[in-house]
Amino acid sequence: MIVLTVASPKGGVGKTSVTANLAAALAARGRRVVAVDLDPQNALRLHMGVPPTEISGTSRSTLAGEPWGRLMFQAPHGVRLLPFGELNDQDMQRFEVYLEEHPEWLAEHLRTLGLAADDIVLIDTPPGHSPYLRQALAVAHRVLIVLLADAASYATIPQISRLVDTHCAQRREFQGSHLLVNQVDTARHLARDVLNAMRAAYGPRILGTIHSDQAVSEALAYDQTVFDYAPHSVAALDFNHCADKLLNLLAPPSLLRSFLGQTSGA
């Protein structure tokens, strides 16, 4: 299992849209993908065809002491989703206390899913520091930090990078964090300037940029991914490009094994 945690210092930058569309792009490339919604907004399901009346999810199951196997929702584009579920305020508080007291909660549950070594788990998180982000960082092999091409996002990069380092850097399996700049409007001078500054300061860490494209929000309104709704849109091309780059970065264990097998046999 390869765990990719999607995080951001601010809300509304497009974490959930990125999680849903990247998950679909990776699945379209033949990878088995599980998307995990760790955001109490429970919004990832809206990208995955889950009926809006459905309230089940990992939060409710955890409080009820039930396993996660039956929660897995099969989305039309091949991605499997573990929704967060709906909780009232009181249960939300209980759940967050539970997470603080059980730092291994996510790691233990992911192990019960019986995933293969090269299955990809993409985790959506709420903005900023939270018990949910800490759980998702504790299991991450890589972190995708979603930003906007604006000064406020630029200023938060050192802070979120330090947070990721605190939780991830000491784990041997951690492979690094990447920046994904979303909703880029290249017609705006400021966006171009900030993007250039980001490239100068963090070039190799930038996984890609996603243009601001109405197709992303329109796709959600039609309960689709951007690939179904507008496969030739700029955003669809951008997401495809990011998915290709990601797959190049992830050394697929099966390929690596066969490579090692060949060289050791030579």
Ligand X SMILES: Nc1ncnc2c1ncn2[C@@H]1O[C@H](COP(=O)(O)OP(=O)(O)O)[C@@H](O)[C@H]1O
**Binding region for ligand X (CB under 6 A):** 8, 11-17, 182-183, 210, 212-213, 216-217, 220, 235
Minimum separation from the CB atom of position 254 to ligand X (A): 32
Minimum separation from the CB atom of position 146 to ligand X (A): 6
Q: Which secondary-structure segment (H or E) carries 61?
A: helix 58-64
Comparison of 15 and 109: residue with beta carbon closer to Mg ion: 15
Q: Which does 135 bind (CB under 5 to 8 A by kind): ligand X, Mg ion, none?
A: none
Minimum separation from the CB atom of position 210 to ligand X (A): 5
Question: Given its phi and psi angles, is residue 51 left (phi above 0), alpha (psi -120 to 50 degrees) or beta?
Answer: beta
How many of the chain's residues bind Mg ion (CB under 5 A)? 2
Cβ proximity of 181 and 152 under 8 Å: no
Minimum separation from the CB atom of position 33 to ligand X (A): 17
Residue 84 CB: number of other CB atoms within 10 A?
25
Between CA 202 and CA 85 the distance in angstroms is 36
Site residues for Mg ion, 35-54, by CB under 5 A, read none
Q: Which does 50 bind (CB under 5 to 8 A by kind): ligand X, Mg ion, none?
A: none
Between CA 41 and CA 123 the distance in angstroms is 14
Q: Is the dihedral of CA 67, 14, 227, 254 positive or negative?
A: negative
Comparison of 21 and 58: residue with beta carbon closer to ligand X: 21
Residue 61 CB: number of other CB atoms within 10 A?
18
Query: Where on the chain is the footprint of Mg ion (CB under 5 A)?
Result: 15-16
